[in-house]
Chain A
Amino acid sequence: MKKLIYLAVLSTLLVACDEPSTVLNPVEETGEKLFYQPENFPQPSYDFSKNPVTDEGFELGRKLFYDGKLSRDGTISCAECHSQPYAFTHHGHSISHGIDDKIGTRNAPAIQNTAFMDLFFWDGGVFDLDFFSVAPIVNPVEMDEELGNVLEKLRATEDYPEMFKAAYGSEEITTEGFLKALSQFMNSLVSANSKYDKYVRNEAGGEFTDQEISGLSIFKTKCASCHGTDLFTDGSFRNNGLQIYVRDPDFGRAIITENAADNYKFKVPSLRNVGYTAPYMHDGQFLTLKQVIEHYASGVNDSETLDPELKKNGVLGIPLTETEKSDLIAFLATLNDPTFISNTAFAAP
Chain B
Amino acid sequence: MKISNKLYIGLLGLSIFATSCDDDAMGDDPNATNTVQIEFDNRFGATDIELGTTKATNASGEEYTLSTLNYFISNVSLMSDMGEMVSFPDQYFLVKESDAGSQFIDLPEVPSGTYSHLTFTVGVDSLKSISDVAARTGVLDVASYGDDNMYWSWNMGYIFFKMEGTAPGIDNRGTENFAIHIGGFGGKDAVTPNNLKQIDLHLHDVSVSESSSPQLHVIFDVTKVMDGANTISLMETPAIHNPMVGTSVSANYVSGFALDHVH
* Residue ranges of A at the interface with B (Cβ–Cβ < 8 Å): 47, 50, 118-119, 121, 124-128, 130-131, 134-135, 137-139, 146-148, 150-151, 175-176, 178-180, 255-259, 262
Is B189's CB under 8 angstroms from A127's CB?
yes
Contacts of B54 on A, CB cut-off 8 Å?
none
With A131-B156, A147-B142, A148-B143 as contacts: A50 and B134 at CB distance below 8 Å: yes
A50 & B244 in contact (Cβ 8 Å cutoff) = no
Main secondary structure of the interface of B (DSSP, over half): loop
A70 CB, nearest partner CB in chain B, Å:
12
A146 touching B147 in the complex, CB below 8 Å, given contacts A125-B156, A138-B153, A257-B187: yes
Contact B133 A256 (CB under 8 A): no
Q: Which residue of B lies closest to A124 (CB)?
A: B189
* A257→B192 contact, CB < 8 A: yes
27 contacts between A and B (CB under 8 A): A118-B189, A119-B189, A125-B155, A127-B189, A128-B156, A131-B133, A131-B142, A134-B151, A134-B153, A135-B154, A138-B149, A138-B153, A146-B143, A146-B145, A146-B149, A150-B143, A175-B133, A175-B141, A176-B133, A176-B134, A176-B136, A180-B133, A256-B192, A257-B192, A258-B244, A259-B190, A259-B191
- Which residues of the partner chain A approach B193 to less than 8 Å between Cβ atoms? 258
CB neighbours (8 Å) of A180 from chain B are 133
- Nearest B-chain residue to A178, judged by Cβ: B143
B60 contacts the other chain (Cβ, under 8 Å)? no
Residues of A contacting B153 in the complex (Cβ-Cβ under 8 angstroms): 126, 131, 134-135, 137-139
Contacts of B132 in A (CB 8 A): 47, 50, 128, 130
B155 touches A256 (CB 8 A): yes
Task: Report the number of A-B residue pairs with Cβ-Cβ less than 8 Å.
Answer: 81
Docked pose: A50 CA to B132 CA in angstroms: 8
Listed in ascending order, the chain B residues whose CB lies under 8 Å from chain A are 130, 132-134, 136, 141-147, 149, 151, 153-156, 187-193, 242-244
User: Which residue in A121, A134, A138, A257 is a CB contact (below 8 Å) of B190?
Assistant: A257
Q: Which residue of B lies closest to A262 (CB)?
A: B190
Closest Cβ of chain A to B130, distance in Å, is: 7
For the complex of A and B, 7 pairs with smallest distance between CB atoms? A147-B143, A135-B153, A258-B244, A134-B153, A175-B143, A148-B143, A125-B155
Q: Point out which of A126, A128, A256, A262 has the most chain B C-beta atoms below 10 A from its C-beta.
A: A256
**Would A134 and B192 count as touching, CB distance under 8 A?**
no
* Contact yes or no, A258 B134, CB < 8 A: no
Q: What B residues does A150 contact at CB under 8 A?
A: 143
- Residues in A with CB closer than 8 Å to B143 are 146-148, 150-151, 175, 178
Minimum distance in angstroms from A51 CB to a CB of chain B: 8
